[in-house]
């Protein structure tokens, strides 16, 4: 049985880790290098490092910070934000990232997914999808959730898989930062219609939410930020609770 993964997310703005609600109202959550080192020691299975303002501000991911973080961790490490070319990915992987996450650039240029998968392998390519449920339909957004597109979540996810993505990081904008639980109905549908791993993101507030997303949402991994950054949930405690609920995790 494949183990489920617990993934702290470090959203970076101006070199600091931040956390908000529904993609807004950002507050400082600490130094990303220090947090990365703590998570690597405390049982996280992977880390995701997203420069959330890189695309918005038309600049590249902070490659130097990526290098500093990568030097401190011994677990897989995904980097995203402002990635729009094969060259961008080459730099990040050389600086220590294990995988990259693309979002807005994939929507604007879907061929980028094909190109990156061909050059670096499917296992290196995560496509992040930010979607919001509007009038009963999940609508994909870009630019850090600021701009709605005409893409439907499930149609776009299928295209992403066909083009060579190794996994999908789905963030529900409706759930993000609310601590009311993950969007398990949408996650379950994604898991049933696709063949690649699905990472649940947006809404974690307590340990039961993680249990629910693995059982009801059929997610392969669960990503969270504030509940870990502000010590509301310790990863080792979470994993022990998951095991008690019959969910396979690595301890």
Residues involved in catalysis: 11, 130
DSSP, res 82? S
Locus of tokens 């850090």: 144
96 with 70: CB under 8 angstroms? yes
What is the distance of C-alpha 195 from the center of its chain?
18
| Contacts with 24 (C-beta within 8 Å, 6 or more apart), sequence order | none
Cα separation values, 54 from 11, 102, 108, 206, 225, Å: 11, 12, 15, 30, 19
Residue 114 burial class via C-beta count within 10 angstroms: exposed 0-12, middle 13-18, buried 19 and up: middle
CA distance 103 to 107: 7
């Amino acid at each position: 049985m494949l183990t489920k993964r617990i993934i702290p997310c470090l959203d970076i703005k101006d070199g600091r880790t931040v956390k908000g609600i529904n993609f807004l109202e950002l507050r400082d959550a600490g130094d990303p290098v220090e947090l990365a080192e703590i998570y690597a020691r405390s049982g996280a299975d992977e880390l995701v490092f997203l420069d959330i303002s890189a695309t918005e501000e038309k600049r590249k991911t902070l490659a130097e910070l990526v290098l500093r973080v990568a030097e401190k961790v011994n677990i897989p490490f995904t980097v995203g934000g402002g990635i729009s070319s094969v060259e961008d990915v080459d730099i990040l992987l050389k600086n220590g990232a294990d995988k990259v996450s693309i979002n807005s650039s994939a929507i604007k240029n879907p061929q980028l997914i094909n190109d990156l998968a061909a050059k670096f392998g499917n296992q290196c390519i995560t496509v992040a999808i930010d979607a919001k449920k509007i009038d009963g339909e999940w609508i994909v957004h870009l630019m850090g959730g600021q701009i709605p597109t005409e893409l439907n979540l499930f149609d776009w996810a299928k295209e992403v898989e066909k083009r060579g993505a190794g996994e999908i990081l789905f963030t529900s904008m409706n759930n993000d930062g609310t601590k009311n639980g993950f969007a398990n109905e949408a996650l379950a549908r994604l898991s049933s219609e696709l063949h690649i791993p699905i990472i649940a993101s947006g809404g974690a507030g307590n340990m039961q939410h993680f249990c629910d997303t693995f059982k009801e949402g059929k997610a392969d991994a669960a990503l969270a930020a504030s509940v870990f950054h502000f010590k509301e949930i310790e990863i080792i405690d979470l994993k022990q609770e998951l095991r008690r609920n019959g969910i396979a995790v690595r301890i």
